[in-house]
Amino acid sequence: MTTFSRHRVSGKAGKLRVLVHPSRNGVSRLKSHDGVERRPAIGHLGVLDMQFFDRLLLENRAWAAGMKMADPGIFERLHEGQAPAALWIGCCDSRVPAEQICNAKPGELFIHRNIANLVHEDDANVSSVLEFAINALKVDHIIVCGHRGCGGIQAAVSGGDALQALPYVDQHLGQVKRLVAERGEELERFSQLSEKVDHVVELNVIAQIERLSTMSLVTDSWQTRQAPSLHGWVYDLASGHLEEVYRREPDWAEGASTEPTWQRAAAG
């Protein structure tokens, strides 16, 4: 069965009529008025001479049509409300899209992202996200996900003038710079900058889990409903794989064991 939906997209490139055919694997194909069918390549901005933002709007229609074809009731259900199982705190990096790398569906992850996936007690943004996720959505899990080769972490490790022109980023990364200073001796055994960065990426994820485990938003929830579990993950850009580096369960405060991955991560 071939089902095309008709969409009109206009922009600087002029009005463009295309037929969108969501394929079974979710990759759309675009058919222009000249009848030539083209499959857009990821990251290729020149598809049909479209402006980048036009392409995004068009892909949205293809995505929505594909989702509906695979699951006709999906948008009606999502319109009713959300009940995600987990809060994801990840880096803003464009190469680490939370849902895609986990094959998660809309509605499964409540997401907060900032540079270097940090939790600040005095950051109203992350605090409000935590409050809503824990007390309103009652998520069972919080995932803090860092990634190897993180530019934010690298800037903090490099020090010097790296952040001079970016004062807000510099301020945001203060806790990472302190972590680097505290673990300076430990980092000296790595000869390559990339190795230091990837080690601090792991230490930083662990530090965020530790910070979360002391916040009253989390500990109050542990007392009342024994949730959420705290998961520290690292994503490897080179392989596309996620790895757990640390985990803390709600009963940790009552003497539960520390995960062995902590020792592995700390030992580098």
Catalytic residues, which ones? 91, 93, 95, 147, 150
Task: Tell me the closest approach of the beta carbon of residue 90 to Zn ion, in angstroms.
Answer: 8
Q: Quick one: 93 or 249, whose CB is closer to Zn ion?
A: 93
- Strand 16-22 with 5-9, pairing: antiparallel
Taking residues 91 to 110 in sequence order and writing x for each that binds Zn ion by CB under 5 A, - otherwise, the string is: x-x-----------------
The CA distance from 168 to 201, in Å, is 20
Task: Tell me the closest approach of the beta carbon of residue 91 to Zn ion, in angstroms.
Answer: 3
Q: Quick one: 129 or 173, whose CB is closer to Zn ion?
A: 173
Question: Among 10-18, 150-158, 194-202, 211-219, which window interacts with Zn ion (CB under 5 A)?
Answer: 150-158
Taking residues 75 to 94 in sequence order and writing x for each that binds Zn ion by CB under 5 A, - otherwise, the string is: ----------------x-x-
Residue (of 99, 174, 208, 86) closest to 138 by Cα position:
86
Give the one residue of 48, 98, 118, 150 binding Zn ion; rule: CB under 5 A: 150
Instruction: Return the number of other C-beta atoms located less than 10 Å from residue 234's C-beta.
Output: 24
In angstroms, how far is CA 66 from the centroid of its own chain? 23
- What stretches of 68-218 adopt beta strand conformation (E)? 86-90, 109-113, 141-147
Q: Reduced to 3 states, what is the DSSP secondary structure of residue 42?
A: coil
Task: Check binding of 205 to Zn ion (CB under 5 A).
Answer: no
Residue (of 156, 157, 179) closest to 169 by Cα position:
156
Q: Quick one: 169 or 227, whose CB is closer to Zn ion?
A: 169
The CA distance from 175 to 170, in Å, is 10
Binding site for Zn ion (CB under 5 A): 91, 93, 150, 152
